[in-house]
Amino acid sequence: MKKKLLFLLLAVVALTLVACSKTNSTSSSSGVASSSDKKITIMAAHVVSTETTQHKAFMEFKRLVEERSDGNIEVDIYPDGQLGGEREMIESTQAGNIQMSSPSVGVLANFSSALQIFDFPFIFKDSKTAHEVVDGEFGQELLKGLEQSGLVGLNYGELGYRHLSNNKGEIVTPKDINGLKIRTMEVPMHIAYWKEVGANPTPLAFTEVFTGLSQGVVDGVENVLGLIHSGKFHEVSKYITTTGHIYDPEIYIMNKDFFNSLSKENQAIIQSSINDTVTYLRELNSSIDAELRVKLEEEGAIFRDLTDEEYNAWIEASVPFYEKNADKVDKEKLIQLLEATGNDKFLDAIK
């Protein structure tokens, strides 16, 4: 009897060990083992230099994600166009060759046409209005449209307000840019706008702008002060007019399949970290233009600020552009955007 009991006990122990072995094997092979068993790496790329607030924001995102995941998620950042221009980075993010990037909304509109409404000039009167719109239901709904292109729109960053610089002389009115070769992004609405007001728009990748200005391929460039300074464009294009013609959001995007493959916990870590990063970036940008202006002037840039009357001349010159191009984008969304910003001048032109 004792031998039988001993045999039964040994059999139970053996079965228990086998079961535990199968459980561990299944857990390991299914990838749901403890977080320490599998480290996640996010390759994140952007086109601007390490001096910019955009890069500092990426470094903040890296810090937050790695801290909140206890090091289980690692973020590798590739700045300064190391992995290509904005279009190439979007395509790489789509393909999953990299996991994350932050293109200008103008270039990203080639992958989600609804975003083209941000390419219209003089929409936002100030950054506060812009933030309210993109943070609200309307702005968040636009992000969802990126999913059709295999992307997840995490949140809106910002490049800020775009201004006009050139190497020919002071620009005050739209008539002053007649025939001027202006570098633009590869954005149809930007190109159409500069044609409308009389310039000769020339699309160039961001990484080619300095050379283009130096060699006379273009006479000027429109961009935010941060990128004019970091790209050293003012060294070959010193006359800067603070037109503020476009508020340029950029969108933090991630490969959809990669994001969906993450656990809910890791998705929440990434989303909360990017939300806090956006707040950090906006705080950095809140005073940066004034600081950059001082630096640019010290380095030889010559600024021209527009009076209210001069600024309104640019608004008037932009009305025909709205009339001709509103039907080429999602007009209802453009109307919603103009209504959200209280922009009656252009609303009346397209209704």
Asked whether the CA dihedral 336, 338, 341, 344 is positive or negative, the reply is negative
Query: Radius of gyration (Cα) for the chain, nearest Å?
Result: 26
Amino acid at 332: E
Beta partners for residue 343, in sequence order: none
Amino acid at 243: T
- Print pLDDT tens along the chain (351 aa): 433 444 444 344 444 443 444 334 333 333 333 344 589 999 999 999 999 999 999 999 999 999 999 999 999 999 999 999 999 999 999 999 999 999 999 899 999 999 999 999 999 989 999 999 999 999 999 999 999 999 999 999 999 999 999 999 999 999 999 999 999 988 899 999 999 999 999 999 888 999 999 999 999 999 999 999 999 999 999 999 999 999 999 999 999 999 999 999 999 999 999 999 999 999 999 988 889 999 999 999 999 999 999 999 999 999 999 999 999 999 999 999 999 999 999 999 998
CA–CA distance, 6 with 262 (Å, rounded to integer): 48
Strands 239-255 vs 151-166: parallel, antiparallel or unpaired: antiparallel
pTM above 0.85, yes or no: no
Contacts of residues 236-239 at CB distance under 8 Å and 24 or more positions apart, as own/partner, are: 236/167, 236/210, 237/165, 237/166, 237/167, 237/213, 238/165, 238/167, 238/300, 238/301, 238/302, 239/165, 239/166, 239/167, 239/168, 239/169, 239/170, 239/171, 239/301, 239/302, 239/304
